[in-house]
């Protein structure tokens, strides 16, 4: 008989996403042609240079051993150069960079380095589920900053009670934002850093969608508002910009004390990943901007195709400024929850979306589309959604008026 599990497990996991996984499996088994728009996993190919670099590393026996914590200088230098080139920020590759097994590893482990049980951490609702998971694992108490459309899905600093500001040790943000697709300006980051300094709060900025900003927008780094890196740390992922989610590679850049503390936590849990992956990731970071521009166009075209098709079927979703997602208020007239909508939809049509409630209570009333299939498949998915909304499929969702 297994003893009762630790209490820290209780708040983890989301039944909504679990139920969606089951529903996708059921839809497949029922013979439906699944169009899975529920995961932000890029369908595009990583840069060829990254793949050939990983491939040739396999025939180099020097890559087979453990990758220890001083490894690899070449990868850390590539990260520092990437930041310097992109944001004009000076970064010391020795002390201000930490390779990660995906950026999620960094944001999930940072609370263990910072929070004592009962310390407060500020984070957004809705937000990326792993952020709150890391706070729970560290025994921290999450305080949710509501993100609402009226405020551009940005937190309002003056609405946080003074007592909460006094107790808070950590603030976790992520712009361009998953799931709302909102972006933040340089001015927003200035105000955020002022808030953090005033209350002695560490800013952790998760920055995986830096490259997917559309129509001439540019996503500023939070570190541009803290170039001396006094209290901020930023996390970058190769999963999105370079389509390397399965390789599990990302990195943190920021305040050297934070980097050192995070490294201490990480070194208790694992080593770095296979050196060949770090070599491939360094090659990816050197990809010319023209490739990024091309992929950005791909996502922009998908966004335009999907939004136009949704408007055509009478679902007026907003046009996102950034990310690989659409954040769509549930269709007018639908009386059920976002979870029920997604379950009914996938069962009836084979189209899988993410229920907004999986990203926090403020996500209820929304669904998220991940634009990870070609335009023609998006059109097919939305055509089926149109039939579903009209009630012309067999199982159109009982609550629909």
Ligand X SMILES: Cc1ncc(COP(=O)(O)O)c(C=O)c1O
In the set 104, 180, 183, 255, which binds ligand X (CB under 6 A)?
104
- Residue 129 or 331 with smaller CB distance to ligand X: 129
- Residue 104 or 340 with smaller CB distance to ligand X: 104
In the set 239, 255, 275, 357, which binds ligand X (CB under 6 A)?
239
CB of 280 to ligand X, least distance (A): 15
Could you tell me which stretch among 14-22, 72-80, 100-108, 194-202 binds ligand X (CB under 6 A)? 100-108
- Residue 249 or 348 with smaller CB distance to ligand X: 249
Q: How far is CA 234 from CA 65, 175, 209, in A?
A: 29, 11, 12
* Residue 99 interacts with ligand X (CB under 6 A): yes or no: no
352 contacts 388 by C-beta, under 8 angstroms: no
CB of 162 to ligand X, least distance (A): 29
Q: Compute how many other C-beta atoms are within 10 angstroms of the C-beta atom of residue 218.
A: 13
**Strand locations in 51-154, DSSP E?**
97-100, 120-125, 141-146
SS3 (DSSP) at 232: strand
DSSP strand pairing (232-237 vs 351-352): unpaired
- Residue 178 or 340 with smaller CB distance to ligand X: 178
In the set 46, 47, 99, 102, which binds ligand X (CB under 6 A)?
102
Site for ligand X in 11-70 (CB under 6 A): 40
Closest to 209 measured CA to CA, from 247, 174, 258, 261: 174
182 contacts 210 by C-beta, under 8 angstroms: no
* Residue 358 interacts with ligand X (CB under 6 A): yes or no: no
In the set 38, 72, 124, 174, which binds ligand X (CB under 6 A)?
174
In the set 38, 42, 63, 103, which binds ligand X (CB under 6 A)?
103
CB of 239 to ligand X, least distance (A): 3
CB burial of residue 314 (10 Å; 0-12, 13-18, 19+):
exposed
Closest to 358 measured CA to CA, from 370, 348, 347, 371: 370
* Residue 245 interacts with ligand X (CB under 6 A): yes or no: yes
DSSP strand pairing (35-36 vs 232-237): unpaired
In the set 124, 178, 255, 354, which binds ligand X (CB under 6 A)?
178
SS3 (DSSP) at 278: helix
CB of 370 to ligand X, least distance (A): 9
CA-to-CA distance for 177 and 323, rounded, in angstroms?
7
CB of 242 to ligand X, least distance (A): 10
Number of residues that bind ligand X (CB under 6 A): 13
CA-to-CA distance for 319 and 212, rounded, in angstroms?
14
121 contacts 143 by C-beta, under 8 angstroms: yes
Closest to 320 measured CA to CA, from 312, 335, 333, 310: 310
* Residue 320 interacts with ligand X (CB under 6 A): yes or no: no
* Residue 180 interacts with ligand X (CB under 6 A): yes or no: no
* Residue 129 interacts with ligand X (CB under 6 A): yes or no: no
CA-to-CA distance for 357 and 361, rounded, in angstroms?
5
Site for ligand X in 193-222 (CB under 6 A): 206, 208
CB of 119 to ligand X, least distance (A): 22
* Residue 124 interacts with ligand X (CB under 6 A): yes or no: no
CB of 245 to ligand X, least distance (A): 5
Q: Which residues sit at the interface with ligand X, rule CB under 6 A?
A: 40, 102-104, 128, 174, 178, 206, 208, 237, 239, 245, 250
């Amino acid at each position: 008989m297994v003893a009762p599990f630790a209490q820290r497990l209780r708040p983890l996991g989301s039944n909504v996403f679990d139920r969606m996984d089951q529903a996708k499996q059921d839809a497949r088994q029922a013979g439906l042609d699944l169009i899975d728009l529920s995961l932000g996993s890029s369908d595009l190919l990583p840069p060829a240079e990254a793949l050939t670099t990983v491939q040739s590393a396999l025939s180099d026996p020097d890559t087979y051993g453990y990758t220890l914590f001083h490894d690899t200088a070449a990868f850390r230098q590539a990260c520092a150069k990437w930041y310097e080139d992109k944001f004009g920020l000076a970064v010391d590759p020795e002390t201000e960079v930490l390779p990660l097994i995906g950026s999620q590893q960094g944001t999930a482990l940072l609370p263990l380095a910072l929070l004592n049980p009962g310390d407060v951490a500020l984070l957004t609702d809705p937000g990326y589920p792993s952020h709150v998971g890391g706070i729970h694992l560290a025994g921290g108490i999450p305080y949710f900053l509501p993100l609402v459309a009226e405020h551009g899905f940005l937190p309002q600093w003056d609405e946080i009670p003074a007592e909460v500001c006094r107790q808070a040790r950590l603030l976790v943000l992520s712009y361009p934002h998953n799931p709302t697709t909102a972006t933040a300006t340089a001015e927003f980051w200035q105000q955020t850093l002022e808030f953090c300094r005033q209350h002695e709060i560490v800013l952790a900025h998760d920055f995986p969608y830096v490259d997917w900003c559309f129509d001439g927008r540019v996503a500023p780094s939070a570190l541009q508002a803290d170039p001396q890196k006094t209290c901020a740390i930023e996390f970058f992922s190769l999963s999105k910009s370079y389509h390397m989610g399965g390789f599990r590679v990302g990195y943190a850049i920021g305040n050297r004390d934070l980097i050192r503390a995070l490294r201490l936590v990480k070194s208790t849990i694992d080593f770095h990943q296979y050196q060949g992956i770090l070599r491939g990731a360094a090659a990816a970071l050197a990809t010319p901007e023209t490739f990024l521009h091309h992929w950005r166009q791909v996502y922009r075209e998908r966004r335009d195709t999907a939004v136009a098709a949704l408007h055509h079927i009478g679902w007026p979703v907003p046009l996102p400024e950034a990310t690989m997602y659409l954040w769509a208020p549930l269709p007018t007239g639908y009386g059920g929850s976002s979870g029920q909508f997604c379950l009914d939809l996938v069962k009836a049509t084979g189209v899988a979306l993410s229920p907004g409630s999986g990203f926090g209570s403020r996500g209820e009333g929304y669904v998220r589309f991940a634009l990870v299939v070609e335009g023609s498949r998006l059109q097919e998915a939305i055509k089926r959604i149109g039939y579903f909304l009209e009630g012309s499929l067999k199982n159109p969702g009982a609550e629909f008026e």
